[in-house]
Amino acid sequence: MKINCTLISVVDDDESVRESLPDLIREFGFTARAFPSAEEFLASDCVVKTKCLILDIEMPGMSGPDLQRELARRRQETPIIFITAHSSEAIRPHLLKGGAVECLIKPFSDTALLVAINAALRAK
Amino acid sequence: MESELSRLVDALPGLVWTALPDGNIDFFNQRWCEYTGLSLDDSIGSGWEASIHPEDLSELLECRRFTLDSGEPREIEARLRRFDGEYRWFFFRSSPLTDTDRRVVRWCGIITDIDRQMRAAEEGSGHWWRSRAARENHFRSIVDRLPAFVTLMNPNGEAVLANRQVLEYFGATLDEVKGWENGSTIHPDDRPGAIAAWQRSVETGESFGFEGRHRRADGVYRWFQMRGFPLRDSEGRIVLWYLLQTDVENHKRTEEALRASEQNLRQIIDSIPGLVCTMSPAGAIEHQNQQVLDYFGRTAEELRDWAFTDAVHPDDLQRVIEVLTKSITTGTLYDIEHRCRRADGVYRWFQVRALPVRDTDNRVTGWYVLLIDIDDRKRAEEALRASERNLTQIINTIPTLAWSARPDGSAEFFNQHYVDYLGLSQEQAQEWGWTTAVHPDDLNSLAGAWQHIRASEEPGESEARLRRFDGEYRWFLFRANPLRDESGKIVKWYGTNTDIDDRKRAEEELRRSEARKTAILDSALDCIVTIDHEGHITEFNPAAERTFGYCRDEAVGKRLADVIIPPSLREGHRQGFTRYLATGEARVLGKRVELTAARADGSEFPVELAISRIPLEGPPSFTGYLRDITERRLAEEELRRSEAFLAEGQRLSRTGSFSWRVATEEITWSEQVYSIFELEPDLPVTLGLLGSRVHPEDIPLLCDMVERAKAGKDFEYEHRLLLPENRIKYLHLVGHGTRNKLGELEYIGAVQDVTERRLSEEALGKVRSELAHVARVTSLGALTASIAHEVNQPLSGIVTNASTCLRMLAADPPNIDGARETARRTIRDGNRASEVITRLRALFSKEDITTERVDLNEATREVIALSLGELQGTRVMLRSELANGLPPVAGDRVQLQQVILNLLRNALDAMSAVEDRPRQLVIRTEQDEGDLVRLTMQDTGVGLDSQNLERLFDAFYTTKSSGMGMGLSVCRSIIERHRGRLWAAPNDGPGATFSFSIPHGFEGAMGTHNLGAIREPAVTDAAKVMRKS
């Protein structure tokens, strides 16, 4: 497996997601970090390093879209892939307009995720 | 003079006697007494007769009688016994003394001793008459010695002879005297009378008697008594006249003096204001003055024989006699008062004083009596006494307190009223005792005033309060008047104290009422101005000063018109006033009129004026009340405007107002109500009219409303109107009952056309129910979403992990460990998913709960720990009061935690919008009675509507816009499966409290039997729905 230094951060309050998704991402060949909340992500040193952000929408405290706005405010143009357990039909357009690359509904296939990641990295 | 005369008389060579006009001889000279040897007393009266020779006595007496009767003296010789008893011849001659009226007042006589001559004549007629010349000489010497003027005149009146006295007196020689005309020496005033008397005598031959004045040699006139005796010859012809003239000047004077003095005395006696008399010892009145005669109405003679005691009043007689007797016996003066009867029979009081007259032996020979008519005095005394009694009565009756005081101010006398008033005795009040009754506050000023009055010696007055016998103080006016004696010195003060208490109180009342009146006038908000009949201002109160800008002194006296009425209107006012005074017709009196007035600065403003006539006698005066109505005008304007607004507002809001007088069924509508009812405005409104428009189905409502109204309760109704063309209007009606000023029940209310609102409400209602339906559907959606979410998590994990696993296995070399891990996770997640399903099924089925020993406190703490982030994020202050020693409960830990979490989440949601108070959450666990354990969750959120408390636990009931309405129904079923109870209640303050209690015992929970979850229809529906999908 090739080791890629591209850091992809996962921000999700769901433990199982933080458990499973980074492994998958590593299998893709990326480096992955997981954060239980947007605040912790912001507090970390990965904000700038993160090349792609996989972001849960509904989180207590700062939500996904909140983090998106925050990053935009910081002019941190990190591509964001939203993931959500809820139907995103209503907010999908907003999120995409806000600069999100994709919005995936759980459960999503690994393929869908990879496509989204690639799209995100390419867009960058 | 008298002694000289008597010496003279005693010296005369003859025995001289005088007698009273009645012949009673009351005087003999000394020679007589020496010759006869008789004393004067023995001689007078008729005592001398004893000395006359008995043989001669009768002739002598006869001669005397003749003389007395005729007034013409006769001479006679008679023998007079000498002291030794021897008789000698004497020549008795007498002559009368007359007064100016020719009445005899006295006789006088000379008795000359002619014994020798007589004897000589008896012996022979020789010795004595030797010669005519000798005889003449002898005679002449006698004549010359006589202390009288002797003149011999021939019948023609010429003097033939005159004795020496004559010649000496006239200072002339005989020859000169002879040559005088008859009567030439007589005083001119007396001459005519003398001459006439002489003529008469000459003619008649009677003796001549006259008193007249002769001029002496030195020219002085002296009175003489002239007596002329004719000497007749044997044929009876008068040959000579003997003229004897005695100088009676002194006598005359004395006589006159005596007469005058007698007259004086008489007058005095007669003018003594009293009856003066002398009384004999027997009581006969001997001498008296005129008053006596007048009083008793008797003559002197009658009185003499009259017993005086006859005139004494019978009642006094006894007393009088006693006193008289005593006086007589003791010989002392008596002094007695008794009544004497007057000539007319009337008795009068006299004071009778009598002085006894004693003789030399001290025997009482008579009384000098003085009677003083004291009748008037007595009556006066009686009257005085009566009047004094009267006066005392008056003094004691007059309704004032009367008193007298000494000049030093100390009180002497108090009338009965005074004494009664004070309740003191005379003795207690006298001197200064009365001052104890004076009010302490007034004492000093009264004392000072009294002192001042006394010092000024003028009448004065002062006011003070005097204590009555019962202790009450009353105001009195003290008045004092001085009484002076003849020298003007003040001897006494008299005073009266008049009760002025009522007046004082009235004065006080008046003062207070005056002050009140003035205060009222001064504090009145209205301007009060009074004017006299000429329209001049007499009063101008402070409010008027403020309103018009004049001070009182400026305004008083000026014409009202000139002060407050604008120039343009003055004429009109003046005319009106003049007309009133002339005709009595008043257009303005007694009414309120609005007019324009002017202030001092000229600005004009509207006023309301009311003028009334002051109802007193005399020329008319008027009171005007003025009020500045500028503000009122503005307010009126405001009101008009606001009424217009109201009408507009009513129109815009489609609300009308009405009033309904229940008793009389009078209903008044505003214009808008008519418009709402689509009736002609101004139609009289009756309940019948109402009924005609009200929707038939709502008529009962109307009747009910009327009933309610009659009972006086407020009402609020909504009912429909049925209008032409079957249109319906919805009305909202409110009525509020009041009592109007007559006490009648009157409703004031509003009617609003709420048709549009109602319609929209109905529409809304429909939409709501649709929405509710949708919501229900949406909840299911939400439920599904929730379930999906719950399942999604593990599914997502599974997919991810599985994908990862594949990739790991596909790697070169394959990551076996990683794959194993992911596979493991996959299984786990699968299990989790299954668990969720199981749980869900359990939720919606009757399956037993998993029973274990649950420490509720521990479970609660875990839930709290899980939610800390949320609590902090939503700024909620959490307080947990978890009871110690809480017994464990038998139950499904997870489910119970779900309930707790749900309740917590609900509480947070309820407080999410609260800003004005702290968001506080209290979680409490405690042991409940009956083996129960209770958990309560209390928040300070929006609270609960108590009407919807039960509906809370309905499935799909939610007040949250994004809620799914699952929570509480699920919670309840969980708790009920634990054989517990879940309920909610609003707090006393803000927020709500949710509580559940479950039995803690393990008995009966070990089994699998379900003690009955209550089947809820909604749950069944959900299950059905789930099965379907």
**DSSP string across B902-963:** HHHHHHHHHHTT--SS--EEEEEEEEETTTEEEEEEE--SS---GGGTTGGGSTT--SSTT-
Contact residues, chain A, for B870 at CB < 8 Å: 60
Distance from CA of B793 to the nearest CA of A (A): 7
Tell me if B794 and A60 make a contact (CB, 8 A cut-off): no
**Under an 8 A CB cutoff, do A16 and B822 touch?**
no
Is the CB of A110 inside 8 Å of chain B's CB atoms? yes
DSSP B301-361: HHHHTS-GGGGB-HHHHHHHHHHHHHHHHHT--EEEEEEEE-TTS-EEEEEEEEEEEE-TT
pLDDT class for A41, splitting at 50, 70, 90? very high
Structure letter (DSSP) for residue B434 = G
pLDDT at B956: 53
B159-162 and A50-56 beta bridge pairing: unpaired
Q: In what order do the strands lie in the sheet with B238-247?
A: B159-162, B149-153, B238-247, B221-232, B208-215
DSSP B104: E
Residue B781: per-residue pLDDT:
62
- Contact B657/A at CB under 8 A: no
DSSP category for residue B540: E
Residue B672, judged by CB atoms within 10 A of its CB (0-12, 13-18, 19+), counts as: buried
Whether B784 and chain A come into contact, CB under 8 Å, resolves to no
Q: According to the model, what pLDDT value does residue B934 have?
A: 93
ipTM over 0.90: no
B808 contacts in A (CB within 8 Å)? 23, 27
pLDDT 10s digits, B92-116: 888 888 888 888 888 888 888 888 8
- CA–CA gap between residue B680 and residue B674 (Å, rounded): 6
Which chain A residues are within 8 Å of B803, Cβ to Cβ?
A: 24, 109-111
Q: What per-residue confidence (pLDDT) applies to B1005?
A: 41
Chain A: nearest CA to B647, how far in angstroms? 51
More confident residue, B749 or B772: B749
Give the pLDDT mean for B543-550: 89
Confidence of residue B765 (pLDDT cuts 50, 70, 90): low
The shortest C-alpha distance from B909 to chain A (Å) reads 14
Cross-strand pairs, B659: B668, B748
Written as six digits, the tokens of B892 are 């499904």
Model confidence over B262-305: pLDDT tens digits?
A: 788 877 777 777 788 888 777 777 788 888 888 888 887 877 77
Q: Measured between CA atoms, how close is A15 to chain B, in angstroms?
A: 9
Is the distance from CB of B543 to CB of B528 less than 8 angstroms? yes
Nearest to A16 by CA among B970, B809, B898, B836: B836
pTM value surpassing 0.80:
no
CB B620 within 8 A of CB B612: no
Structure tokens at B904: 């917590």
Contact: B800, A17; criterion CB under 8 Å: yes
Is the CB of residue B897 less than 8 Å from the CB of residue B904?
Answer: no
Distance of alpha carbon B731 from alpha carbon B751, whole angstroms: 7
Q: How far apart are CA B1014 and CA B309, in angstroms?
A: 158
Distance to chain B for A89, nearest Cα, Å: 13
- Per-residue pLDDT band at B462 (split at 50, 70, 90): very high
% of chain B exceeding 90 in pLDDT = 8
d(CA B209, CA B207): 7
Mutate to test the interface with A, among B795, B807, B831 (most CBs of A within 10 A): B807
Cβ neighbours of residue B231 under 8 Å, at least 6 residues apart?
Answer: B238, B239, B240, B241, B242
Across chain B, what does the average pLDDT equal? 81
Side-chain half-sphere of B951: how many Cα atoms within 13 Å? 9
Q: Backbone dihedral region of B842: left (phi > 0), alpha (psi from -120 to 50 degrees) or beta?
A: alpha
The Cβ of residue B27 has, within 10 Å, a number of other Cβ atoms equal to: 17
Band of residue B258 on the pLDDT scale cut at 50, 70, 90: confident
Q: Is B905 near chain A, with CB under 8 Å?
A: no
The pLDDT-based confidence of B464 (bands split at 50, 70, 90) is very high
Alpha-carbon separation of residue B826 from B39, B130, B349 (angstroms):
215, 246, 173
- Which candidate from B799, B825, B829 shows the least CB-CB separation from A108? B799
Longest dimension (CA), chain B: 264
Query: A1–B812: do the CB atoms touch at under 8 Å?
Result: yes
- A70 in B contact zone (CB under 8 Å): no
Find the closest chain A residue to B784 by CA distance. Answer: A86
The answer to whether residue B73 neighbours chain A at the CB level (below 8 Å) is: no
Of the candidate ranges B147-161, B239-253, B371-385, B948-962, the one whose mean pLDDT is the lowest: B948-962
Q: Which among A1, A19, A107 has CB closest to B799?
A: A107
Question: For residue B440, is pLDDT > 60?
Answer: yes
- What is the pLDDT at residue A2? 52
Cβ of B872 under 8 Å from any chain A Cβ?
Answer: no
* pLDDT at position B129: 45
CB-based contact, A109 to chain B, within 8 Å = yes
- Integer angstrom CA distances of residue B51 from A98, B12, B22, B543: 210, 20, 20, 133
Residue of B nearest to A113 (CA): B800
Count of A–B CB contacts within 8 Å? 77
Residue-by-residue DSSP string for B293-314 = HHHHT--HHHHHTS-GGGGB-H
Give the residue-averaged pLDDT of B807-818: 85
Q: Give the integer Cα–Cα distance in Å for A35 and A41.
A: 6
Instruction: Give the C-alpha separation, B624 to B536, whole Å.
Output: 12
